[in-house]
Amino acid sequence: MFGRRLNIVTIGGIKIGIDFSWVFIAILLTWTLAGGYFPFQFPHLSGETYWLMGALGMLGLFVCIVLHELGHAVVAKHYKLPVEQITLFLFGGVAEIKKEPKSPKVEFLMAIAGPIVSVVLAAGLYVLAQAGERLEWSVVAIGVISYLATINLIIVVFNMIPAFPLDGGRVFRALLWWWKKDFSWATKVAARLGSGFGFFLIFFGIFLLFITGNIVMGVWLMILGFFLQKAASSSLVQFQIGKELRGIKVSKFMTKDPISVPPDITIREFIDEYLYQSHHHLYPVTEKRTLIGYVSLREVKSLTPEEWVKTPVKKAMVPASSFRTISPDTSASQALALIQEANLPALFVVEDKRLIGILTAQDLFKLISLKLELESDTDL
C-alpha cells in the first residue's frame, strides 16, 4: 500500500512505522504550528518557544494517531483478524488489517474503536489543560495540551463522515450490511459515497482556491479529496477482486510441470541452457522432482561473470526453507495476498514436497481481468 517505510516500535506484536510521506507532513505541521497557530493563540512569546511548541504538538499528534489506530487494531485482534502493522503517512494513519470482518457487529466495533479512543483523548486532554491553567503550568505545556485536545476532536468529526474508507464510512457500511444482510451491496454503496465525497472536496477546494483566494485551504482540500476518491475506488476494486477470486483453486489455472533447473549445473550453464532459451526471470530448482529452491536473475546478477563458470546453482539459489509455497487447493485470493506479501513474481505449487506447478502474478491478473469483465455485477 505504501512506499518506503521506517519501523519505529512493535506493540503487542503490531509493528508501528512511518511512511516517508509522513516526514513531509511532520515538517509542514511543525512549521504551521510554530509560524501561525501558536503565535495567534499565545502572542508575545519568543520564536524559539513557538518552534518548541510546534515540535511538541507534531510529536503529540503522532502519538494520538497511533493510539487511534491501535483502537482499531485491538478490536480486530480480539476478533481474530490479523493486523500486520500500523503506518503513519501523509494524511494520517492506517491499521493494515489483512481480512474483512465476518459480521456487521465486528465491522461496527472495529470501525468505531478508533474514534472512541480519540474522543477519550480529547476529553482527557481538555481536562488536563484546564487543570494545568489552575495549577499555573507553563504556557508551553498548556498550549500543546490544548492543541492536542482540539485536534483529536477534529479527527473524530472528520473521521465520522460516512464516506468510505473513513471510519464513519466503515460504520455506515456496517449498518447497511446489518440492514440488508448483503456485505457486497453495503461495500459498493459506502465506497461510492466515499468516492463522491472525495469529488466534493476536490471541487470545494477549487472553489476556495479560485473564488475566495484561500490558496492553502483550497490546495489541501483538493489533495485530500483526490486521496479519498482514489482510496474509495481502490477499496471497491480490491473488494471485487477478492470476491471474484474467492473459492477458485490455483490448480485450475497454474502452469503445470514448469521448467525446473537441476542443482548441480553451473550458473553459466543455467544462463545458456535456460535463461537464453526459455526467457523466464525465475526458475524452480528441483532434485528428483522435489523443490529445493529457486534461482532468478537477482542471484545471477549478484555474481561476477568469472564466478558464473565455477559456481553451481545449488550454491547461488534461494533455498526452499526461506520462502513459502502453496498447495494446489489454495484459493486464488490467498495466492494473490501471498504474492503481494512476499513481493515475488511467482509462487510454487507443491504437493508432498514435489513441484507440480507455478503461479505467476500475471496468471492472477489475467484471471482477475477475465472474471471482472465477464461476471462482475457492478449494479447496486
291-302: pLDDT as tens digits: 999 998 889 999
Whether 3 has a pLDDT exceeding 60, the answer reads no
* pLDDT tens digits along 12-62: 777 787 777 777 778 888 888 888 889 988 888 898 999 999 999 999 998
* pLDDT tens digits along 189-242: 888 888 888 899 899 889 888 888 777 678 778 888 888 888 787 777 777 666
Residue range 64-89: mean pLDDT, rounded: 84
Q: Which domains does the chain show, CATH number per domain?
A: 5-160 (no CATH), 250-374 (3.10.580.10)
CA pseudo-torsion sign 327, 331, 332, 334: negative
| Residue 234, pLDDT score | 75
* Percent of the chain with pLDDT strictly greater than 90: 32
Omega before 165 within 30 of 0, i.e. cis: yes
Omega before 82 within 30 of 0, i.e. cis: no
Residues paired with 89 in a beta bridge: 92
Mean pLDDT of the chain: 84
HSE, CB side, 13 Å, CA atoms: give it for residue 376. 20
Q: Cell numbers 454503496 correspond to what residue?
A: 189
Question: Residue 185 — very low, low, confident or very high, per pLDDT cuts 50/70/90?
Answer: confident
| Residue 2, pLDDT score | 47
| Residue 378, pLDDT score | 47
The identity of residue 282, as a single letter, is L
* pLDDT tens digits along 86-126: 777 655 667 777 677 888 999 999 999 999 999 999 999 99
Q: Supply the DSSP symbol for 262.
A: -
